[in-house]
Chains A and B, each alone.
Chain A
Amino acid sequence: MKTRICLGVKLTKTMNDMAIGEVGLVAGMTYTGALRRRLQDIGICEGTEVRCVQRSPLGDPTAFFIRGAVIAIRKEDLRGILIE
């Protein structure tokens, strides 16, 4: 999902859209099941502050600073984590 303005309504931004150095607050996750739990385990839930720090030289995954630790997550998995 990319940030687009359509008819004046801003569509949702995800962690995948963040640029290096950008900081954002997690607004929610579209996942259910194992992936959701795994992401919760590393501290991602509503209100968590995340900072985008490094992208892999081949473009994927991307590393984020989350609650004091740096975790790399793949593109497909980032697309379901909403940011405000």
Chain B
Amino acid sequence: MRRFRDEGGETITVALAGNPNVGKSTVFNALTGLHMHTGNWAGKTVSNEQGRCVYNGKEYILVDIPGTYSLLTCSEDERVAEEFLESGEADAVVCVCDATCLERNLNLVLQITEITDKVVVCINLMDEARKKGIEINTSLISERLGVPVVGATARSKKGVFEILSAVDEVILSGGAKAPQYGEEIEAAIEKLLPQSGKRHTAVEYLIGQREATAEIFKIKEELAEKGLTEEKIRDLVAETLVHTAESVCSGAISYKKEKSDERDRTLDKIFAGKWTAFPIMLLLLAGVFWITVVGANYPSEILGKWLFALEGPLYSALSALGLSDFFCRMLSEGMYRTLAWVVSVMLPPMAIFFPLFTLLEDFGYLPRVAFNLDRAFKGCNACGKQGLTMCMGLGCNAVGVTGCRIINSPRERLIAMLTNCFVPCNGRFPALVAIITMFLVPSDGAGGSLLGALVLALLIVFGVMMTFLVSKLLSATVLSGVPSSFTLELPPYRTPQFGTVIVRSVLDRTLFVLGRAVSVAAPTGIVIWLLANIPAGDASALSQVAAFLDPLGKFIGLDGVIILGFILGISANEIVLPIIFMSYMASGSLAEIGSLTALREVFLQNGWTVITAVNTLVFFLLHWPCATTLLSVKKETGSLRWTFAAFLIPTLTGFFTCFIIYSVSKLFLG
């Protein structure tokens, strides 16, 4: 775990705990000014995030820990939270709660009070509660719990700094009242305290969450003789927590509306309804793609015109510096052109899709996708939460892999990780759009973009089907086992803050893509150019490599250059298409560059047919994950074997599928 910067005694470390999905990260962002990615579904934060905040002359270090329902039964990602809280590194703990669901949230608050009495309760989402007619008497709750209670709406930064004042208060005089479990258990806890130090640890011993020493075992036996077996104690603890939370809230929360969740239920009937759920999913997917395609069109054109026009002047400027022709061309034709490509063709779609995706996330739609698809996942012996990680993969596969921590069972987690890249990430997305536009839809006209969006949506559906297929295969062979039980929370829908999300997301994505363009695309562009312009025997090194890979490529309906593009694209998927283009260009004649029509010409000149396009699309979906994703798999599994599997499984699937498509096409089309 990362060590904190110790700036000498004056720093106050505050842990931000809470149930999943209560807006902890929003509170964190509001206090630290950082812009961590938030989203409206459980499991968004899966590791500890740190941030700094200065308030009233004091410095606070905030640690946003993953959301957890309880500290007594932890899944893998919740363990991270528990460990941090028990480590004592935090001077105080702020437990963030959802105002619309306070009673359930108090379960965790009460458990935390057994670890430390320096607790502040922050009741977030007060605006949502008000909309639902829920009113909370925070002073009454504060009295009953013995800790300060701050009401807040982190989204609008209301009440967040009061949290820090409450933290100061509580550090001086913590007064949390821990829940009481009845005479006998309390007596046992007393006996255990010298060894365990904290109530929470004592409780963990009693319920069997922690390995008992011989002495502790004796105490447990004494209790068992009185009829309080481990199982009974667990029940008692759980029930006490539930009833204590109930009594804290009774009379302190008033509901002005009879059914406070009416709006959510109506929306659920639409998004998860029997006849509407799947059509809407498809429509939403197609709609998001359509907006991306149409929205990216104009910026791509403009950027293309400007950037490609600068290539000539760049060459002139470089040669004026006295650099050799070879060197100048390497930098302008090789490096700069690839850069220009990535920025003009890849950047606009990525910068538009991500904000749209984030808006859907914030809205709360993603858990409904998991809810709708769970039965299918159950049929593959996988976990329904794989639906969520699959959605994450649409943004970035590395994030999807890390997000698999929300899946409890290691077997199911592995299945989810190994199949995550069947859903194309942000980086592959523009290439898919480009190829579909060039080869699969009639050119020009608005109908083109609509059709293109639909084809893309269908392609994603294909990817999802492959996910199911391979998951089923995996769970029937290498990763077999019984489906575990799981619970999925469907959080209330929240109106996304359109302005903030769009602006921040576009900026984020643009910077990210530009950064990657410079660090990955530019060097690769140089490599390609060098390969193409350094003679090796009769022809350039590039054509030698391409020729070498050609038989393999042709076998599955592609060619050597395409395979090379994918190989080099392991560093970043967004450079695959630029690499293919650059490679063709290097051994071909110069045509007008910067438009898809010109690109299509180049491809056709190099032997592309519709089948090549289809196979390339399929291979885009079904090939090895990018380096970042593979690294994530290695980090999450700790196993080279599974990382290799993560490389091999999609690759084999891709080769196999492309081969079938190619063979069938040859059969029917000759």
A54:B269 contact, CB within 8 angstroms: yes
A57:B488 contact, CB within 8 angstroms: no
B376:A41 contact, CB within 8 angstroms: no
Chain A residues whose C-beta falls within 8 Å of the C-beta of B273 in the assembled complex: 57
A72:B101 contact, CB within 8 angstroms: no
Assuming A42-B69, A69-B101, is B485 touching A35 (CB within 8 A)? Answer: yes
Q: Shortest Cβ distance from B509 into chain A, in angstroms?
A: 32
Pick from B239, B261, B272: contact of A45, CB under 8 Å:
B239
B372:A58 contact, CB within 8 angstroms: yes
A74:B374 contact, CB within 8 angstroms: yes
> Does B234 lie at the interface of the complex (its beta carbon under 8 Å from any beta carbon of A)?
yes
Q: Shortest Cβ distance from B235 into chain A, in angstroms?
A: 8
Enumerate B357-390 residues with CB–CB distance to A below 8 Å. 371-376, 378, 384
A74:B486 contact, CB within 8 angstroms: yes
Assuming A54-B265, A57-B277, is B485 touching A38 (CB within 8 A)? Answer: yes
Interface string of B122-148 (1 = CB under 8 A from A): 000000000000000000000000000
Pick from A32, A40, A68: contact of B103, CB under 8 Å:
A68
A67:B485 contact, CB within 8 angstroms: no
Assuming A53-B268, A54-B265, A67-B101, is B371 touching A38 (CB within 8 A)? Answer: no
Interface string of A54-84 (1 = CB under 8 A from B): 1111111101011111111110110000000
A7 vs B490: C-alpha distance when bound (angstroms): 41
Pick from B238, B265, B277, B486: contact of A40, CB under 8 Å:
B238
A76:B274 contact, CB within 8 angstroms: no
A53:B265 contact, CB within 8 angstroms: yes
Interface string of B89-106 (1 = CB under 8 A from A): 000000000101111100
Pick from A55, A66, A69, A74: contact of B485, CB under 8 Å:
A74
> Does B211 lie at the interface of the complex (its beta carbon under 8 Å from any beta carbon of A)?
no
A65 vs B262: C-alpha distance when bound (angstroms): 12
Identify the closest chain B residue to A66 (Cβ): B104
Chain B residues whose C-beta falls within 8 Å of the C-beta of A74 in the assembled complex: 374, 378, 384, 485-486
Q: Shortest Cβ distance from B241 into chain A, in angstroms?
A: 8
Chain B residues whose C-beta falls within 8 Å of the C-beta of A54 in the assembled complex: 265, 268-269, 272, 371, 490
Interface string of B335-349 (1 = CB under 8 A from A): 000000000000000
Chain B residues whose C-beta falls within 8 Å of the C-beta of A73 in the assembled complex: 487
> Does A46 lie at the interface of the complex (its beta carbon under 8 Å from any beta carbon of B)?
yes
A7 vs B70: C-alpha distance when bound (angstroms): 44
Chain B residues whose C-beta falls within 8 Å of the C-beta of A69 in the assembled complex: 98, 101, 104, 489, 491
A41:B73 contact, CB within 8 angstroms: yes
> Does B72 lie at the interface of the complex (its beta carbon under 8 Å from any beta carbon of A)?
yes
Q: Shortest Cβ distance from A25 into chain B, in angstroms?
A: 13
A72 vs B490: C-alpha distance when bound (angstroms): 7
For the complex, would chain B's binding face be called helix, strand, loop or mixed by DSSP majority? helix
Enumerate A2-51 residues with CB–CB distance to B below 8 Å. 32, 34-43, 45-46, 48
How many A residues, CB 8 Å from partner? 36
A42 vs B238: C-alpha distance when bound (angstroms): 10
A40 vs B98: C-alpha distance when bound (angstroms): 19
Chain A residues whose C-beta falls within 8 Å of the C-beta of B371 in the assembled complex: 54, 56, 61, 63, 72
Identify the closest chain B residue to A35 (Cβ): B485
Chain B residues whose C-beta falls within 8 Å of the C-beta of A42 in the assembled complex: 69, 104, 487, 489
Identify the closest chain A residue to B108 (Cβ): A41
Chain A residues whose C-beta falls within 8 Å of the C-beta of B244 in the assembled complex: none
Pick from B103, B277, B373, B489: contact of A71, CB under 8 Å:
B489
A72:B268 contact, CB within 8 angstroms: no
> Does B264 lie at the interface of the complex (its beta carbon under 8 Å from any beta carbon of A)?
yes
A48 vs B261: C-alpha distance when bound (angstroms): 18
> Does B222 lie at the interface of the complex (its beta carbon under 8 Å from any beta carbon of A)?
no
Output the residue of B235, B268, B278, B487 with the most chain A CB within 10 A.
B487
Output the residue of A39, A42, A73 with the most chain B CB within 10 A.
A42
> Does B231 lie at the interface of the complex (its beta carbon under 8 Å from any beta carbon of A)?
yes
> Does B242 lie at the interface of the complex (its beta carbon under 8 Å from any beta carbon of A)?
yes
Q: Shortest Cβ distance from A75 into chain B, in angstroms?
A: 9
B487:A39 contact, CB within 8 angstroms: yes
Pick from A32, A48, A58, A72: contact of B231, CB under 8 Å:
A32
Pick from A39, A43, A61, A66: contact of B374, CB under 8 Å:
A61
Chain A residues whose C-beta falls within 8 Å of the C-beta of B47 in the assembled complex: none
Chain B residues whose C-beta falls within 8 Å of the C-beta of A39 in the assembled complex: 487
Chain B residues whose C-beta falls within 8 Å of the C-beta of A63 in the assembled complex: 268, 272, 371, 490
Q: Shortest Cβ distance from A7 into chain B, in angstroms?
A: 32
Apart from A41-B70, A61-B488, what 20 extra A-B contacts exist at CB < 8 Å?
A: A34-B73, A36-B234, A37-B72, A37-B238, A40-B242, A42-B69, A43-B104, A45-B235, A45-B238, A54-B265, A54-B268, A56-B277, A57-B372, A60-B375, A61-B371, A61-B384, A69-B98, A70-B490, A71-B489, A74-B486
Report 11 cross-chain contacts, Cβ distance below 8 Å, ordered by A residue.
A36-B235, A41-B69, A45-B235, A54-B371, A56-B372, A57-B272, A57-B278, A63-B371, A67-B101, A68-B104, A71-B487
